[in-house]
Amino acid sequence: MLFHIGSILIPSYGAITAFGVLVGLALTQRTARLAGIDPGKLWNLSILGLFAALAAARLLLVIANWSALRSHPAWLLGLAMVHHPLLAGMGALAGAACALWYAHHVKLSLAVTGDALAVPIAAGFAFEQIGALASGSGYGVDADPHFALAIIYSNPLANLWSGVSLGVPLQPVQAYTALAFFALAILLRVWLPLERRAGDVAGLGLMGSGIAIYVTEFWRDPEGRGSILGGSVDGPQITAVFLILAGAWILRERKTVSSASAASSPASEDQGSV
């Protein structure tokens, strides 16, 4: 918890994640210009997608914790700040659906829009993981007591909302994930203005995100994350595989209509001359 005003809690996770959202929104104005689309339309798309994601995640969380909220209604102010893979997945689906609808409505190219959003999304996820580290959400597996980077949680609220063990050295897996997403955001930002095909930056962002999630999950405690194939992989890792495959599909070699026409025009001219 960052601080509290009476019975109103201001959680670390929510405050840091909100700051990351502001950073991401500011980045969209720059990346939109680099990608060649209207910054105002990208701003609207981002706001609509964000509110849809928050509304869906909060609704699911309220439903899951309805009995506790009836006894402690003030907890409603802190519920939206709780981190969980199911909430993240539901929010991401709702946000993506809303963003796709708006992009279609204002006739934005999905490939170019994805390129412009790749950097802000990666940066936003990095800040989200810093918030998770501060609050104990998505905590890591037990670490060697002598491991210099091990983190120990002591606040009872971290145990209440995230289930993290108190007084136990843990792997700071959230920090590993944050560093991976920060590195990805920098890479995508460097590549965005370079000559490339539309959608390539988005494809690399999907692949990079999938790799970051898949690898760091090995240091994350499996409690509440699902167990598949006898515990070999968990739910987020399955999602990561789909992200990697989606990114690879976008990055595949593909012919554009213009290149296909250019390739066929000489042959057509030769046939015409004959």
**Amino acid, res. 191:** W
Q: Is the distance from CB of 236 to CB of 217 less than 8 angstroms? A: yes
pLDDT at residue 215, rounded to an integer = 95
Q: Is the distance from CB of 244 to CB of 206 less than 8 angstroms? A: yes
pLDDT at residue 86, rounded to an integer = 65
Classify the C-alpha dihedral 32-36-40-46 as positive or negative: negative
Q: Which of 177, 200, 172, 201 lies closest to 187 in space, CA to CA?
A: 201
Its pTM surpasses 0.85:
no
Q: Is the distance from CB of 26 to CB of 15 less than 8 angstroms? A: no
pLDDT at residue 255, rounded to an integer = 57
Length in residues, the chain: 274
Location of structure tokens 């809690």? 9
Angstrom distance (rounded) from CA 83 to CA 144: 25
pLDDT at residue 10, rounded to an integer = 63
Write out residues in the chain with pLDDT < 70, as ranges: 1-11, 62, 64-88, 224, 226-227, 229-231, 254-274
pLDDT at residue 95, rounded to an integer = 87
Location of structure tokens 């309805």? 66
pLDDT at residue 272, rounded to an integer = 44
Query: What are 9-58's pLDDT values in tens digits?
Result: 666 777 888 899 999 999 999 999 999 999 999 999 999 998 988 888 77
Q: Is the distance from CB of 217 to CB of 224 less than 8 angstroms? A: no
- CA terminus-to-terminus distance, the chain: 80
Helix, strand, coil content of the chain in percent (nearest 5):
70, 5, 25
